[in-house]
Amino acid sequence: MDRDERGMSFELLEREQILVSYQGTAATQEQWDHYLDQLATLREVERVRFLVYADGSPPTPGIQRRIAGIAHGHDKWLVALVSPSTALRFVVSAFKLVNRSIRFFTPAELHDALSHIQCDSDERGAVQNALRRLQG
């Protein structure tokens, strides 16, 4: 887990193969680099699921390109992005060109987001606990 009081933090739930991330404010370049390094290590994993919860601003175009480069060819990666931000909704629509399994959800739709990434009841609990830890 990468932990910072602001910006981005994340945790890989290894047993569940779910990467849970939380972005509260704009992430630093160092946080993005650490997160992207983690994503790159998952390229060899066939089925990874992602819950991305973002209260912050969308990633810069450069970061978006780096994410797209890592995610390219991984349509089996299930991704749920949860945010109140309409700007992030737009970013998700652009990422659908790279990964058709990415979907956008509002915070009120967290249950639907967990269904999208195919979490069973035990996994839902693990993801929600991780998200609470990350939100600190």
> pLDDT tens digits, residue range 14-59?
999 999 999 998 899 999 999 999 999 998 887 899 999 998 788 9
pLDDT of residue 4: 41
Dump pLDDT digits (tens) for 1-10.
444 456 899 9
Listed by start position, the domains of the chain span 8-135
Q: Which token pair is 5?
A: 């009081």
Cα separation, 119 vs 8, whole angstroms: 23
**Residues 22 and 131 sit within 8 Å (Cβ to Cβ):** yes
- Burial call 92-122: b when 16+ CB within 10 Å, e when fewer: beebeebbebbbbbeeeebeebbebbebeee
Check residue 82 and give its pLDDT: 97
Give pLDDT, residue 94: 86
- Please tell me the predicted confidence (pLDDT) of residue 46: 79
Indicate the class that CATH gives domain 8-135: alpha beta
